[in-house]
Structure 1
Amino acid sequence: MQPKTNDSLSVGSINLILFAARQQGADADALARAVGIDAAQLKNPDGRVLIQQVQALWHEAIIATNDPALPLKLGEMVNPLALGVLAYVMMHCPTLGHVFDKLCHYQDIVCEGVQTTGQLIPADDKSGAKYVLSLRITSPDIIYPEHTFNSELSIYMSVIRALTGQRLTALETHFAYPRPSDTREHERVFDPTLLLFDASETTLVFDAALLDTPVLNANPSLFPLFEKHANDILNQLHTPSLKSRVKAEIVSLMKGEEPTLVSVADRLAMGVRTLQLHLKESGTSYQQLLDETRKELAIGHLREPNVSTTDIAYLLGFAEPSVFFRSFKKWTGQTPGAYRLAYA
């Protein structure tokens, strides 16, 4: 199974998941390897990981910890202010209302597959004014929406409490997935709140008066520095890098034969030497990007039990299955068959 998109998630978010899994006794390094994430990737605070890999990581982490509620516990198991630049932006907002505005604006920095929006609902004859924070899945690569919603909401609540120094709660919490057989962790994590499942949208509904709650230790002089960094990252995400464009063309051209540098350069309307030079300036090469793409696709395909390793070799454009086997072992330290037995 190859990724449907290039949607990605921040390395900071991945490290939170791995940390939580480690706290529950799992081998975090093995979990990262199982979904094709290299240790070097996890050291870059502004790095990105494909959402498809993150979804696979949630699946593996829940199996390894034997804890289906792990995503719900994420916010309280980790330091939610370790999310990276977005956390620093929110830390120096004057009020909770400003925090919500920045969370919605910079959501893609944390995860491109979820859209977070906020709406102020005026008071009526029945109730006071409310503020509704809504989450909507936007990436087709998110195949476990309940893990995504649970982890995001638990982190949001932890961030709100850490920034204000108060155990603030939502009036209502709505989940856009069916009611699970066991809701005790939902009740514990979001207590006290009205829990609603099978909702049309996943939301946190707050009393609008909370928007004026001050953020503790906010430093207005630091805010512009962190917001500039956040804007730079957001602009990079919304302007595909040359590396991501090359990998997208490799995927598009990989139909039973190896995509060549010449064919990719032609698709990008570039000369071969120009493309090679730009990739070198970016710290990579065409061969490295071809190997990365093949590795990511191979791991996805190996999770599909009905696709043989010989078929995978063909799909990835290898001339012979033996060449694919040798390459995969070089990438992961395991043969495709051994990897499938361990992780599929």
Structure 2
Amino acid sequence: MPHTPPAATPPPANPRIPFVTVTNWVRAARLCGIDIEAIFREEGIDTQLLHPETATLDRAAFQRLMHRCVAETRQAGSPQHFPLVLGESFAFEYLSDVETFITTSATLRDATRALEWIPPLVNPFMRFSLSEHGPDARIGVRFEGVDANHDIGWPFTEAVFATVIKFSRVLLGGQPLIGRVTMRHPAHQNAATVASHFQVPVEWGADLDALWFERRLLDQPLRGAFPSLHEQAAQRVVQQVAQRALNIQASGDPSEQGHHLITQVERAFLDKPRLMGLGLEALAEELGLHARTLQRRLKDAGDSHSGIQARVRHRLALAWLQQPELSIEDISERLGFTDRRSFTLAFTRWSGQTPSQFRRASR
């Protein structure tokens, strides 16, 4: 029985998007036979400022750029479909630690931790989710705000899926991961190319954008596991995400500062669930802030310690209750509840059913 995790905090209205992927766009355009430099100029993008480590685009320009590249590729009569080429040719050239983390993972489940880190580094409007339902699992992607309209966001979805499929094949040594693909947007003139590229059934006009696969593959050992490199890369990526948040704070945009603080709190709870049972002081210490400062900044951002804690607890509870090896008592303890009864009351308030009822329905 599918359940949607609690909604992540939406990003502020107009943050600029890091264009760290600019070289990927240039490479994809070349493969599609289109002049992306001319497109940059026509869209008012200053090519003198397009260094991958510092370049940013406003959201509207990013959307226009994607749709121009799709249209220009079609008009050129190319057999290629730009979003697929962008996704397939994607490389973490300026995010090498993310790639190292992914490729040295012990399991796919471990690799999916990167799905929490990639959005703030690549596109703050993007959200990934991993859901497990009986023998099936899915990786979903969605975009906040206007990008949630599939008329705008569909090429980004296709590009992201192409990248995820590419890296999953690398991790699994060529073994296919995905069993089927669902996408919210209707079939378009390149639909046959998309289906041929993914090599699995594609459902158009579906309820959600997701890659579906066998749940057992999440815990299949991977040959490329390299624990020491993996953890070193993880630490560096966390630092990069934190630095991105500091850069946002330095920009002076209060709404964006608030969003990134909330994201930091959510990430701290997800990385160290024990923090949820230790109170505001422990969380503030983890983030390098005074408790009163953290409390005030969260209030200014329209959120609270208890509100974020509840969202993350609900999200983790939904995932852990679908792992039969974890008892409800274990889950309660992991989430920082004093006892099973407290957890049951909270989960019933969030979901309208008890943990036991949810677990039975998910089998």
Category of TM-score, reference length = shorter chain: 0.5 to 0.7
SS at match of 2:66: helix
Instruction: Write the deviation string for residues 186-240 of structure 1: whole angstroms up to 9, x where unpaired.
Output: 211111x221111121001110121134444343222233222322232344453
User: Does the alignment pair 1:61 with 2:69?
Assistant: yes
**Distance between the aligned counterparts of 1:41 and 1:71, measured in 2?**
24
Q: Which residue of 2 aligns with 1:111?
A: 123
Change (3 A) 1:233 1:47: farther
Q: Which residue of 2 aligns with 1:210?
A: 217
**Distance between the aligned counterparts of 2:202 and 2:210, measured in 1?**
10
User: Does the alignment pair 1:72 with 2:72?
Assistant: no
Instruction: Write the deviation string for residues 81-114 of structure 1: whole angstroms up to 9, x where unpaired.
Output: 4462422321222111111232245433222111
**Distance between the aligned counterparts of 1:24 and 1:181, measured in 2?**
16
Change (3 A) 1:82 1:131: farther
Change (3 A) 1:44 1:13: closer
Matches within 5 A, 1:207-246: 207-238=214-245, 240-243=248-251, 245=253
Matches within 5 A, 1:20-59: 20-45=28-53, 47-59=55-67
Instruction: Write the deviation string for residues 323-342 of structure 1: whole angstroms up to 9, x where unpaired.
Output: xxxxxxxxxxxxxxxxxxxx
User: Does the alignment pair 1:134 with 2:131?
Assistant: no
SS at match of 1:5: coil
**Distance between the aligned counterparts of 1:46 and 1:89, measured in 2?**
23
**Distance between the aligned counterparts of 1:165 and 1:59, measured in 2?**
33
Change (3 A) 1:182 1:24: closer
**Distance between the aligned counterparts of 2:244 and 2:90, measured in 1?**
25
Residue segments in structure 1 that go unaligned for 5+ positions in a row: 123-128, 249-344
Q: Runs of 4+ in structure 1 displaced over 6 angstroms?
A: none
Q: Is the 8 A contact 1:115 1:135 kept in 2?
A: yes
- Give RMSD over aligned pairs: 3.0
Q: Is the 8 A contact 1:116 1:134 kept in 2?
A: yes
Matches within 5 A, 1:1-344: 5-45=13-53, 47-66=55-74, 69-76=81-88, 78-82=89-93, 84=95, 85-122=97-134, 129-140=135-146, 144-191=152-199, 193-238=200-245, 240-243=248-251, 245=253
Q: Is the 8 A contact 1:80 1:158 kept in 2?
A: no
Q: Is the 8 A contact 1:120 1:132 kept in 2?
A: yes
**Distance between the aligned counterparts of 1:244 and 1:21, measured in 2?**
35
Larger Rg: 1
Q: Is the 8 A contact 1:95 1:211 kept in 2?
A: yes
TM-score after normalising by structure 1: 0.61
Instruction: Write the deviation string for residues 15-69 of structure 1: whole angstroms up to 9, x where unpaired.
Output: 2122101222222322233333333543243654333222111122223322582
Q: Which residue of 1 aligns with 2:261?
A: none
SS at match of 1:180: coil
Residue segments in structure 2 that go unaligned for 5+ positions in a row: 1-11, 257-363
Q: Which amino acid in the other structure matches residue 38 of structure 2?
A: A
Q: Which amino acid in the other structure matches residue 197 of structure 1?
A: W
TM-score after normalising by structure 2: 0.58
Change (3 A) 1:188 1:104: farther
Q: Which residue of 2 aligns with 1:126?
A: none
